[in-house]
Structure 1
Amino acid sequence: MMSRTAVRLRSLALLCGLWLPLAASGAGFPELGKMLEKGFLISAEARLLGDGGRSGEVLGAIEPGLQLSPASVSKAYLAAAALDRWGPQHRFTTRLVSAAELGADGVLRGDLILDGGGDPALASEGLWRLTQRLHQAGVREVEGRLVVSQWRFGPVECITTDRCQAQSRAANSYSALLSSAGVNHGNWCVNVAPGSAAGEPARVFSCDSQTLIVGIDNQLETRPPGSATEFSAERVTREDGDVMLLRGHIALDAAPRDVYRASGDPARQTARTLSAMLEQAGIAIGNGFVTSIEPPSASARTLAEVEGRTMQELLLHIMNYSNNFMADVLALNLVDTPRATLLQAGEAIQDYVAGLPDHGPVIMLSGSGLTTENRTSAQGANALLESMFHRTSLFPSFVASFQSPVNGVSRFIRRGSPLVQDHIMLKTGTLNQPHAVRAASGYFRTRSGRWGVFTVLVNGTASTPWLNWAQVLDPLSRDLERMIAAH
């Protein structure tokens, strides 16, 4: 595997390559090519797919080999590598295990261990099923501790600003920290509702328990009916754990709403959530909970287990909702050794890409694309798409994870004529710092029914700091429409 230093040196070399003179031609992309005149860096290619190993006709290209940031288009690489490794029906398993004796009286005389299986979509529902199955196994009391083991990976070193800041505070959900024993995408959820009368504090409930399992600092006031509802929510980590700070006001007639914020320690969040569920199920924990990076002992036996969603379901959520927590947790599972890092996860994706014909160089430092040093080219991304197209057993699950604009989860992709919206499926990527990125990659079908692939990577520079989706998708839609209609 490449060392971190080698990866960064390779990244620097490619970054330097970004400043080489660009071809001013936008052959096949006359509308998109106008952005070159404004100083944007573009790598674009659209081509038909061949058959029998033959290369398809190139319909348009702008510097197709130029290495640029793909942002969340990186998730298409992750999806392909994951399907190649596990197939569409693979499920990750989470277990409750113990090496202790379970007495006839229902007392487990030792520790109860949650063995975090790296399930990217483990949620409260899964923990509740584990709790119910533990109860069905006859456990009524645990004399020892609840131990949440994240021995596979976690805590994972942060390599992006947002995640590093989230170790102490977070005002969003997307910067969630990573663990093989995380739950609910590494986010706390509280439900905020108006108080019983104007002037009273808002009421705050846990989304995942009958009792509050995260600290609350509530300075959210109820206002008269018809008032504006404006409030902020921030999670901070104090000596006694995570606390949600709520500030502002909510109208008396406002509907309750769920608020999600990244937790400061996803394994500890899992421990607190599971402890509350065990208590609700009448299973007492004698000595509280802890988190661990040690695996359960070889003598530990399974008391309860729950299987997660299939891989094809995971990819649908990762790609459609561009879920960064799920993407990076899945990428970490690609690493075969314990205590995985995001750089190792990126190397596992790079190793997969190295086996793709005609791809060329790639840098993947994460599976999510949050890592701004990720680099690929339009030509390379299209090589990935073509390779999956020819894998009959994997392609249906792969293409289903892309969005069709006419039915897309993301409203901003519903652009262009009905012909375009009905004939393409795409994955988009967005970054705003340290430079603007808008990327789109996917498949199209021509009027005659032929398949094609397209990738457009648009990167801003210091002189082009402003970039929105209309600037990219509108001209791209017009260019694709001509290609689709002409074939």
Structure 2
Amino acid sequence: MTPVSRALAAWDSMRALEMRRGATVTAVAVDLDNGKVIQSLSPSLRLTPASLTKLVLAAAALDTWPADKTFATRILANGAIEGDSLIGDLMVVGEGDSTFDHQSLWFLAAQVKQAGISTVDGDLVINPLPFGPLACETKDRCEGMVRTHTSYNALPSAFGVDYGSWCLDVKPTLPGAAAQIFSCAGVGLPIPLSGSVNTATPLDSGLWLDRVTLPDGDTLSMGGGVASGVPVRLYRSMSDPALGGGLLLRQVLASLGVSVRGNVVVEPQPVPAKASLLAEMQGMPLREQIQRLLRYSNNYITDVLTLNIAAEQVLEPVSSLASASRNLSDLVQRALLAANHAEAGPPTLLSGSGLTPENRLSAQDLVAVLEYEYRRTETFPVYYAGLVVPGQAPYGYLKRGDTAWKERVALKTGTLSEPHSVFGTAGYLRKSNGGWIAFAVLANGAPHKPVPMRETLAAIRSDIDRLLARY
């Protein structure tokens, strides 16, 4: 990147937002055809980036593995098989497949059934390696260990189902009657569920679901209503995804006629040399995981991949998301060096998802990563494919704007509300001549003075519209 001239320094709408709302802003746009800065505003100022951190993680993942890399989940027999009985334990060994879901449970369980086993005399052992015991590390996840009404704050796990979440299908019946509630896996829930849901008019729906963890495990409680004719699927984070996934697997095995007499236990241990493979499931390829984590900002996929990157480099179990995230800081430094900004030093990154409000990135950091990926021709198509084009966005608030905004922008957003408001976007702009611009704009609100997301987005869109009109 070359120094910006004063004549092209303006992000006028973002400067006005700073004055009007007391926001702090970092922004920059770089012409990727020649590496020149087009316009900038405090480009090296590091702020809380929220989910814009995922742009760094996606680049680090593509630096670590080919786009078709998959992560396996296996079931092993740890004991002797006598007739249709396993005299020993079933062991689940995961490689950190963040896309493993309830359909995958059935696929694995069916292979156990096909192996001729109908009785397991021992336990169902969930092996959490290559991850060690993980602390919650973020406020959202620590609070979610006790209670949650969301699906985004599950702890990452080498074995987890449905992004580490309990999944329920709520199916309406006749107006005024109770709705039907099922586990998405099609089996009985292995944890208590209290409450009921009515079939109601859309105005009276108000459906809610909470997961509360008691000393003896997770419980679910729900209430409200669901609109007639509109089935709803709900996810709520598990307090222990490895244990919760094991409990669901035992239910699925039972449905197929495979009885586990022992308990579900989570126990790190080396895989015994004599253990025999019964079932194996390859997860979705990395390219699909990157599209999901960028397009839908999936925190579980992101932080599982963060831990997996670290597990590639060390022999001991990875037990800290913060330490694993040093690989992401290293990637940013490599990108800064390639863009002639080595003096910036390493950013602070404690998670790949951005749930950690202590993360710090500047617009310059983000654009350096975007430029780094743009120049890696073998991985850029996968990286770019994960970004959202506003005119085709799954969220209505991004679709508002002129034709250029809707068609010539591909971006990732980042949002937080606590401990201060955060909203930003970063990605690529397509010039009218077919060339490319990388951009990043990030605004943090002052403590106790939140900046509305829609107001920040309107300012970003206004500045991007003027930029696209010039190019």
Provide TM-score, normalisation by structure 2.
Answer: 0.91
Going from structure 1 to structure 2, the CA distance change for 1:245 and 1:390 (only over 3 Å counts) comes to same
Are 1:412 and 1:469, in contact at CA under 8 Å, matched by a contact in 2? no
Are 1:417 and 1:477, in contact at CA under 8 Å, matched by a contact in 2? no
Q: How does 1:60-459 map to 2 (within 5 A)?
A: 60-103=39-82, 105-153=83-131, 155-194=133-172, 198=176, 202-218=179-195, 220=196, 222=198, 228-249=204-225, 253=228, 255-336=230-311, 337-356=316-335, 357=337, 358-359=340-341, 360=344, 361-459=346-444
Going from structure 1 to structure 2, the CA distance change for 1:395 and 1:225 (only over 3 Å counts) comes to closer
Gaps spanning 5+ residues in structure 1: where?
Answer: 1-23
Q: Alignment partner of 2:224: what SS?
A: strand
Amino acid at match of 2:211: R
Are 2:119 and 2:259, in contact at CA under 8 Å, matched by a contact in 1? yes
Give distance in 2, aligned partners of 1:225 and 1:429.
34
Gaps spanning 5+ residues in structure 2: where?
Answer: 1-5
Q: Alignment partner of 1:99: what SS?
A: strand
Amino acid at match of 1:330: L
Q: CA deviation at 1:307?
A: 0.3
Q: Alignment partner of 1:461: what SS?
A: coil
Amino acid at match of 2:299: N
Give distance in 2, aligned partners of 1:226 and 1:155.
44
Amino acid at match of 1:31: S
Are 1:188 and 1:214, in contact at CA under 8 Å, matched by a contact in 2? no
Are 1:66 and 1:377, in contact at CA under 8 Å, matched by a contact in 2? yes
1:4 corresponds to: none
Amino acid at match of 2:332: V
Q: CA deviation at 1:250?
A: 5.2
Work out whether 1:47 is the aligned partner of 2:30: yes
- Give deviations 1:231-261, integer Å, cap 9, x for gaps: 422111123321111233557x454322221
Going from structure 1 to structure 2, the CA distance change for 1:352 and 1:27 (only over 3 Å counts) comes to closer
Going from structure 1 to structure 2, the CA distance change for 1:144 and 1:249 (only over 3 Å counts) comes to same
Give distance in 1, aligned partners of 2:469 and 2:174.
60
Are 1:342 and 1:365, in contact at CA under 8 Å, matched by a contact in 2? yes
Q: Which moved more, 1:154-163 or 1:386-395?
A: 154-163
Q: CA deviation at 1:155?
A: 4.4
Give distance in 1, aligned partners of 2:91 and 2:7.
61
1:18 corresponds to: none
Amino acid at match of 1:64: P
- Percent identity among equivalent residues? 35
Q: CA deviation at 1:362?
A: 1.1
Give distance in 2, aligned partners of 1:280 and 1:133.
13
Q: CA deviation at 1:56?
A: 2.1
Going from structure 1 to structure 2, the CA distance change for 1:444 and 1:299 (only over 3 Å counts) comes to same
Are 2:32 and 2:438, in contact at CA under 8 Å, matched by a contact in 1? yes
Q: CA deviation at 1:346?
A: 1.1
Q: Alignment partner of 2:12: what SS?
A: coil
Q: Alignment partner of 1:110: what SS?
A: strand
Amino acid at match of 2:64: R
Q: Alignment partner of 2:96: what SS?
A: coil
Going from structure 1 to structure 2, the CA distance change for 1:68 and 1:239 (only over 3 Å counts) comes to closer
Are 1:44 and 1:379, in contact at CA under 8 Å, matched by a contact in 2? yes
Going from structure 1 to structure 2, the CA distance change for 1:373 and 1:25 (only over 3 Å counts) comes to farther
Going from structure 1 to structure 2, the CA distance change for 1:475 and 1:229 (only over 3 Å counts) comes to closer
Give distance in 2, aligned partners of 1:458 and 1:226.
36
Give distance in 2, aligned partners of 1:233 and 1:427.
29
Count, aligned residues? 455
Q: Alignment partner of 2:381: what SS?
A: helix
- Give deviations 1:241-282, integer Å, cap 9, x for gaps: 21111233557x454322221112111111111001111111
Q: Let me know the Cα RMSD of the aligned residues.
A: 2.2
Are 2:387 and 2:427, in contact at CA under 8 Å, matched by a contact in 1? yes
- Give deviations 1:369-392, integer Å, cap 9, x for gaps: 010011111111111111111111
Are 1:25 and 1:62, in contact at CA under 8 Å, matched by a contact in 2? no
Q: How does 1:6-45 map to 2 (within 5 A)?
A: 27-38=9-20, 39-45=22-28
